[in-house]
Every structure is written in C-alpha cells, then in structure tokens.
Chains A and B, each alone.
Chain A
C-alpha cells in the first residue's frame, strides 16, 4: 500500500515548514508520477495481495473492485487534497496548527506517529520473512497474534535495528536507493504475477480469465479467521487504504509542491501499478503456494518471492520493505518530534524505530493488515474533514477559518470534539450496528464534517482583535 505515508524527496528536505512553498520550489508532474509509483509499490503489497485470496474474494469482485476503488482514491487526491494543497501550499501540520491549535496538533502527532510505527512494524515483519528463507525457522501463521519462535524474534530485532539505524543516520541514502529501485521493483512485481500464472497452468491470454475465476479468486469461503470480501469490501479497501493520505489530507505536505492541482492525478501511477498490478501479482503467488500445499496458509512474502523469482525476488522483498519502512520510521520520528519539540530528530527516529521493531514482533499487524489499514484511515480521517470544511465552507457557513491562529488558542475545541465524536460514532457503528470497519469511514467523514461546522458555529467566540492578527499563510479560496 502505500504503504508509505508520503515518503518523498520534497518534504524530506523539511523546507518551508511554516511558509507557503514559493513558485521557484514547485515541481512538475514527472516528479509526482515517479514518487507515487515508487511509494505505492511497497513490501506491504506482498502481504495485502494474498490476504484478498484468504478473504475468499471472487475474480470479478477483485478486478472490478480494485479498479473502482483505486479510481476513487485517485479522484480523492485530485479533487480533495490537491486543490487545497496548491492553494495554501502549507504542510499538513502547519495547516492543522492554524485550525486546531498547537495542543491538539500534539495529540494528532502522537496518534499519527503510533500509526506510522505500526505500519513500519508490518514492513519490518515483511523483510524478516526474507531472512527466514535462508535461516530455516518457524515463521508466523495466518492467524498468529504473538511471535511463535525465538528465532522470529531475533530476526525481527536484527532487521528492525538495522532499519532504525539507517533511518537515523542514512535517510538520504535509502531514499536514493528507493528512487533507483522503483522501476526495477515494479517489473519484478509484474514478473511475480507472470511466473505465478504459468505455475497455475496459464499459458496464454485466452486462459487468463477462466483461470482467474476458477483457480485464483474463486469466491468461495474465506480461510478460517478471515472476513469474506465482496466487491464492496474490495472497492472500499482500495479507496480507503490510503485514506489518511488523501481524504485525511496528509499529502498536503507533498502536493503543496505541485504546480497545478491536477497533478493529483499522478497518484494513478501508484494506485494502478502498486495497488492493482502488485496486489494481483502477490495474490497469484499465494494461490501457487496454496495449490502446492493447501495446509500452508501463512502469508510470508520472503518465501513467496523466492519460490517465484529466486534471489532477485528476495532482493525485491528486502528493498521494498526497507525503502518504505525507512521513510515511515523517519516520518514517525518527525511526528514524535512535533509532539515533543525538545527531542532531537535523531533520538525521535531511534524511538520510532524501536517502537516499530516491537510492533514488527507481533505478526498480527502484518497478518491483519487489511484491518489495520482501515483502522489507520479511520483514526486520521476526521482531521481531513475538518481541513476540508474549514478551507472551503467556513465563511459560507458563518464561522472563521484558521480559528486557533486567529484566537491565539492552544486547542480549538470544535476540532477536538469533532475528532472525538467522529471516532466515537465510527466505533459505535462497528460495535453496536455491526458495520464492518472497511466501510465505516465514509459515514464517519460526513459526521466529522457536520460536527465541525455545527460546533464551530456554536463554540467560536467573536475575536475582537481579528483585524490586528497577521494573516501569514491565509489564502484566497479561488
């Protein structure tokens, strides 16, 4: 998935953190196509693809659901995130600070940092499965929650420690390796799919759809412990798996460098290479494994890749996991540093790497990645709704935008309560009404938007000194 929450050469530079990106620093379309394609062809794609098979999805439901869901994700980037990013040209954090106040942003940073750590933990787990190819030790099974062997713990600790040190000392180098690896990695993912197809008996295009329906995505019962996926599950998962980035507005920090708002369409490179082709290819590899040993339901990207492509496959798993875990650990460090400004970036990265490694010990995060990703989007989504309403609708609805900055307050309670209400409503929908977590963020967004509008109108006090407040960073909504 994206796995990678916006790892980017542009925002890694850390410039223009509290000022709009100037015209001379803005980037062309090509930069964003390469960036999105690289970010979303990650190690976690090798986990997600097989989990669709484990969920018993049918061929049409998968192919059509992924297509529509990915299209909706691209449109979300293009019509929700990019228009605000290219008008305000501010980081997510600064924009949130102006709306919500620094104290609430601290809470957001903590939540965001923890989510990043769990995501990076899944990537550490993925890379640790590559170690298991050479050092034969018991690896986690599909429904394992806790580490199942000492050797697994040791492998994760070694991989996690290495990734953490590199993130702390050599971020720029790994970002460079990620750029180099991206085109090759996409082709290796395609090779996974092609080789897998042959191994299940497909030798021509004419046989492809028939094999898809009868062998790959047969649409039967899910594996034990898994949720049955339909078209709607697949579509909503594909749309919302990067919800924190588009609807949640985290990619404001990335797309603020775009010269035009339609550059949001560049996300199609990531969605249709990483979240379409790579997921499908990884699905096929898992089916090959199930056909050769129906009892082996473990989703282990290392062995899957090795069986298909040999050492090149292993290199792909390691590079894909490493190059996406690296910026994720770094981003988590930035989020923690935002929450605790006295923490040095080096220490913050070490702490986030340590937390990520601990998370990686627990296979449940990687094996339940579909659920975790849905939870991740749900938790951060309300802030995106707040930014959307504040930016586009505040004046029309009769309240002030960027109220925390205008009023000079640490916490905008309208935003804080909105976050709480939206999450409480989502949890209630899941727990009490039985709505599955994959769907709940859609009503959650509307609940958040409505709550913020109503609460802002209710709670905002007239700010007497409005005229005297500097309007740095405030923008025209054209």
Chain B
C-alpha cells in the first residue's frame, strides 16, 4: 500500500494509487470504485453495501490525498427482492 501523498503528483498517478489503496486498505477492500482526478479534486463513484463502507471510502481517500477535495459519489445499494423471473430455453 502506498503512503500519504506528500507532494504534487500528476492526476493519473493519484488516480492509480488511490484506486489501489481503496482495494488494499482493509477498511474499504473495494476493487470497483471509480476514481477520477480533475483540477485538484477527486471524484469517486460506485455502489457499496452499507453506509459505513461508503463513509470509510471518504476517510481513506482524505488520508491519502489531504490536499485534494474529495467528492464521494459512491451510493449504497438497496437491492430489493426480484419481481420477475426469466425463462431460459
């Protein structure tokens, strides 16, 4: 796992390292979070199972890139019971 971002870095490297960190940090362990960095701000997207997991993503992102503003657009999936079935023939 990489350490805290301590100097200006190209957006692409911030995206890469934060994406890996969100998978490797045990507080998050999510591989499917979208990370986009633009003009010094970080935009996160995806779906997780609980509000606690969504909030943990904000914490880890802020720890890594303290100089960036983090916009956490990750949503909490509700996943209702199905209302239909599919017939396969």
Chains A and B belong together in one complex: no
